[in-house]
């Protein structure tokens, strides 16, 4: 597979212009597991009221990063400060202002939805009414008396989200909240989160799904191999990359079509020999496409399944790393 790969964080000056103050400050944190560096000397700020999505393939370090922010794991080096507090000295206070949903949580099988919500409400010193309210807000009112073992995957995620939001947190941290759910269940979770956002909480989520990031978040952080390779608003990320559109086609053979690299105005070329696919990153499809077709014809190169479309985050990630977000 041929790809261009560059470590490419986008300056945060645009974000700072928005007069947001950082609520989470992450300064040069590193986390290692034996020989693997899961998070590598990473520095970012998350601003108050901002919705931020951390995207990346499996093993990028997303979960390790959010678990360090949640105080579940400790970094080997570096500092994390939340509202000028840290986990070492202010765990009790921080737990009260953070709502979180872990990547994978199962519940006590023989306990009902309402009893589970009631239990978590009591951890925050909240009344029964709050548990009832959250059962309704999570869309689980008709499953209130069902045992958690009988819930579907989507219902369990809703319960997990309801628990994350039960204390009206200032900071909501969700680790892959919709992974494995069907599109309908995923959208239900998104709308619940949109409702909650009206309370002006800060949302930080990790996801594999670019649609989820696009729907819920203004700011996108792309992680790969423990580092941030892109950070900014989605349109800015695509703009900074220098290409906005994509020409994609299949081909026969194992030989690299050299003529594609000589074409004018093609920003980047990605060749996937495993899937026999070529992607050309361009700015103006209508101008470039006839040139590509003519050059292919001249080189006696057969183009199959031609598609032209706007670039999305997955394409951006692919162009940066040579890998798909879903890998």
Partner 1 sequence: MNNSFINLLKIHFLEYKREPAVLFWTIIFPVALSLVLGVSFSKKDQVFQRAAIIIDLDKDNFFLSKIKNNINENNTLIYQSAKGQNSYGFHMKFDFVNREEAFKLIKKGLVSIILEPYNNNIRIFFDKNNSQAELAFFQLKSFLAEKVNVSYEIVSEEITVKGGRYIDFLLPGLICLGIMNSALWGIGWSFIELRIKKLLRRMVAAPMKKSEFLASHFISRVIMAAVEMLILCLFGYFYFNITISGSLYALIAVFICGNLAFSGIAVLVGSRAQNSRIGNGLINAVSIPMLILSGIFFSYINLPEAIHPVIKALPLTQLADSLRLVFNEGANFLDVWFSCVYLSFIGFMTSYFGLKIFKWY
Contacting positions for partner 1 (CB under 8 A): 70-73, 91-92, 95-96, 100, 102, 104-108, 110-111, 115, 118-128, 131, 147, 163
d(CA 138, CA 257): 53
The residue (of 106 and 184) whose beta carbon lies closer to partner 1 is 106
> Structure tokens of 270?
């990605």
| CA 199, 204, 205, 209 torsion-angle sign | positive
The residue (of 171 and 316) whose beta carbon lies closer to partner 1 is 171
For residue 40, the tally of other CB atoms under 10 A from its CB is: 16
Q: How far is the CB of 171 from partner 1 (least distance, A)?
A: 13
**β-strands 98-101, 171-175: how paired?**
parallel
The residue (of 23 and 66) whose beta carbon lies closer to partner 1 is 66
The residue (of 41 and 150) whose beta carbon lies closer to partner 1 is 150
Q: How far is the CB of 118 from partner 1 (least distance, A)?
A: 6
Q: How far is the CB of 274 from partner 1 (least distance, A)?
A: 34
d(CA 327, CA 325): 6
Taking Cα atoms as reference points, which of 293, 305, 251, 292 lies closest to residue 273? 251
> Structure tokens of 185?
């269940």
Instruction: Give CA angle at 219 (215, 221), nearest 5°.
Output: 110
Q: How far is the CB of 33 from partner 1 (least distance, A)?
A: 14
The residue (of 21 and 128) whose beta carbon lies closer to partner 1 is 128
d(CA 10, CA 285): 25
Please enumerate in sequence order all residues whose Cβ is within 8 A of that of 182, keeping only pairs 6 or more positions apart, or say none.
154
The residue (of 90 and 276) whose beta carbon lies closer to partner 1 is 90
Q: How far is the CB of 162 from partner 1 (least distance, A)?
A: 13
Q: How far is the CB of 229 from partner 1 (least distance, A)?
A: 28
Q: How far is the CB of 38 from partner 1 (least distance, A)?
A: 15
Q: How far is the CB of 156 from partner 1 (least distance, A)?
A: 11
d(CA 136, CA 295): 60
The residue (of 107 and 251) whose beta carbon lies closer to partner 1 is 107
The residue (of 107 and 249) whose beta carbon lies closer to partner 1 is 107
Question: What order do you get walking across the sheet with 36-47 strand by strand?
Answer: 36-47, 22-33, 77-82
Helix, strand, coil shares of the chain, percent, nearest 5, are 35, 30, 35
């Amino acid at each position: 597979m041929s790809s261009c790969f560059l470590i490419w964080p986008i300056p945060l000056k645009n974000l700072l212009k928005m007069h947001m103050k950082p609520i989470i400050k992450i300064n040069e944190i590193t986390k290692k597991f034996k020989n693997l560096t899961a998070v590598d000397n990473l520095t970012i700020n998350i601003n108050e009221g901002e919705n931020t999505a951390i995207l990346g393939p499996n093993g990028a370090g997303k979960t390790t990063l959010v678990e360090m922010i949640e105080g579940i794991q400790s970094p080997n080096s570096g500092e994390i400060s939340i509202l000028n507090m840290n986990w070492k000295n202010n765990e009790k206070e921080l737990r009260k202002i953070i709502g979180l949903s872990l990547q994978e949580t199962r519940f006590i099988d023989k306990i009902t939805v309402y009893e589970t919500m009631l239990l978590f409400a009591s951890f925050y010193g909240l009344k029964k009414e709050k548990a009832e309210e959250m059962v309704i807000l999570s869309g689980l009112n008709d499953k209130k008396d069902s045992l958690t073992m009988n819930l579907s995957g989507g219902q369990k995620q809703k319960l997990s989200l309801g628990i994350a939001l039960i204390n009206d947190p200032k900071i909501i941290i969700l680790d892959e909240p919709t992974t494995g759910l069907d599109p309908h269940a995923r959208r239900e979770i998104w709308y619940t989160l949109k409702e909650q956002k009206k309370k002006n909480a800060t949302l930080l989520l990790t996801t594999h799904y670019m649609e989820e990031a696009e729907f819920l978040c203004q700011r996108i952080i792309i992680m790969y191999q423990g580092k941030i390779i892109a950070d900014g608003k989605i349109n800015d990320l695509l703009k900074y990359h220098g290409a906005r559109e994509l020409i994609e086609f299949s081909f026969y053979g194992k030989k690299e079509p050299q003529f594609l690299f000589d074409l004018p105005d093609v920003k980047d070329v990605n060749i996937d020999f495993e899937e026999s696919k070529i992607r050309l990153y361009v700015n103006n499809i209508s101008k470039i496409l006839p040139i590509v077709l003519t050059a292919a014809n001249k080189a006696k190169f057969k183009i199959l399944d031609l598609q032209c479309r706007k670039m999305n985050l997955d394409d951006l990630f692919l162009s940066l790393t040579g890998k798909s977000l879903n890998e």
